[in-house]
A and B are shown apart, each in its own frame.
Chain A
Amino acid sequence: MIQGEEEKTASLEFSEIVTSRLGGETIRRCYQCGTCASSCPVAKITERFNPREIIKLSLLGKKDEVLSGEAIWLCCSCYNCQERCPQKVEIADLIYALRNIAFEEGYIPNIYSDFASALLDDGRIVKISRFYEDKRPALGLPPLQPTGVDALRKILSATGFDRLQQKEKSQ
């Protein structure tokens, strides 16, 4: 296969994968106008992040570059880009979709693996300390209700989320 065709196949494959994911459905509507990048508070302060660039690389099939890089993790999820996109590309959501694929492929930033562990252990990603829990009656707050950890673990098991976590642990 000549090089141009190879690239074309790769790009079709990756953008198809993204399009088939929850959150990634709209990526192919992008016509690279750059409204997203000019609305982005992170792009304003660093060259390490540019939403238009992430979409371009994804559409060109640069899968490994997109998934292994830091850029997809530098979105602050403010949704400014998504509000303003003239093509109604759901940019913030498609960055979640890219992160989801990165997670499945084992590209997992430490902080996110901490979030996943906390969710499995406590049913929450922020632990509530005994200190504040014990102080609640004195402050005039009602006792905390029990967390539905068992139900949550069953949900995580049904969706395969717990296996994502094991994948990370085994690395």
Chain B
Amino acid sequence: MTSYALFLGCLIPAHQPNYELSARKSLAKLGIELVDLANMTCCAPPPVQSIDLETSLAIAAYNICLAEEADLDLIILCSGCFESLSMANAMLKADEQLKAKVNKILSKVGKEFLGNKDVKHYLQVLIDDVGLKRLKQSVSKPLTNLKVAAFYGCHALRPSELLKLDDPERPKVLETLIETVGAKSVEYLNKLKCCGGLLKGYSDDLALSLAREKIANITRAGADCVATLCPFCYTALDVGQVLLKGKFNEIYDMPVLHYSELLAFALGIAPKELAITPATHKIKVDKVVSKIS
């Protein structure tokens, strides 16, 4: 059994038990143990980086220190958290001067960043630890005939120099994982463009315009559903469709699921065990569930 410290973040426990349940159950089934550590905090994502980059680095490093103390690598579900922690880990490992500066701050809380642990996106764990071969063998309900639009979002991939998940212009890890569970990955226009999520609260109109283009392109491509990685993108697309109906009277009815939910279905975990409710999925996913069962 491979063990990781889970960095859960805030959006997932705050709003998306469907993400947490599907990820925990799928990873457990695949032999990955998740350890919940005490005293983790905000990851210091872009909104905090916008206020002060140095503070953000120190906060991210503090959380990595907790994993170092537990002698575990970190696994992350949320792309925002992945970007913050992975970026900090890479920057501090590469820059002794910056590390010293951050460690001076961390000394106030009795921590020292050593830089001896990895920060991994759960997709990397699926590829590196489980492996595509074993993942395929573990599928008991292949999602045959399901056409899925891979939705990377931004912060699983970029800045690629630090995150190193995949090619930032031509990634294929998510499409590969979609096909490994038996579904068909469909191409759509401007696949790698941003969901607009981070503009919410400052410019809701621009945020919705970006989400609108994504949903329209995915619908045009004839996908049965979207597979997301990030709780921010998920909300931008799922709640976004409710907003688009209200504002422009546009109805897309495009089910949005986290990739982990599709994975859970394929591993034979019953949808009723995964907190799929009108609260977690504003756009119903019944059509997807009936297509696979």
Contacts and interface: CB of A to CB of B under 8 A. Distances in A.
A2 interface: no
Interface string B49-73: 1111111011100100010000000
A141 interface: yes
Nearest to B65: A151
B52 A103 contact: yes
A51 interface: no
Given A123-B41, A135-B17, A155-B62, A82 B202 contact: no
B210 A159 contact: no
A152 B21 CA distance: 28
Contact of B53 (A100, A119, A135, A146): A100
Given A115-B47, A141-B17, A96 B42 contact: no
A164 B50 CA distance: 12
B50 A79 contact: no
A41 B194 contact: yes
Contacts of A127: 10, 14
A148 B41 contact: yes
A73 B202 contact: yes
Interface residues of B, number: 61
B15 interface: yes
A159 B52 contact: yes
A82 B182 CA distance: 35
Chain B binding site: helix, strand, loop or mixed by DSSP? helix
Contacts of B14: 126-129, 132
Interface residues on A, range: 35 or more
Interface in A144-171: 144-149, 151-152, 154-161, 164
Interface of A: 21-23, 41-42, 45-46, 73-74, 76-80, 82-83, 90, 92-93, 96-97, 99-100, 103, 109, 111-112, 114-116, 119, 123-129, 132-133, 135-136, 139-142, 144-149, 151-152, 154-161, 164
Interface of B: 8, 10-11, 13-15, 17, 20-21, 24, 36-42, 45-55, 57-59, 62, 66, 105-106, 108-109, 111, 154-155, 158-160, 168-169, 192-194, 196-199, 201-203, 206-207, 209-210, 273, 275
Top 9 A-B residue pairs of the complex, sorted by shortest distance between their CB atoms: A148-B39, A79-B158, A78-B194, A111-B201, A126-B10, A78-B154, A124-B10, A159-B55, A99-B50
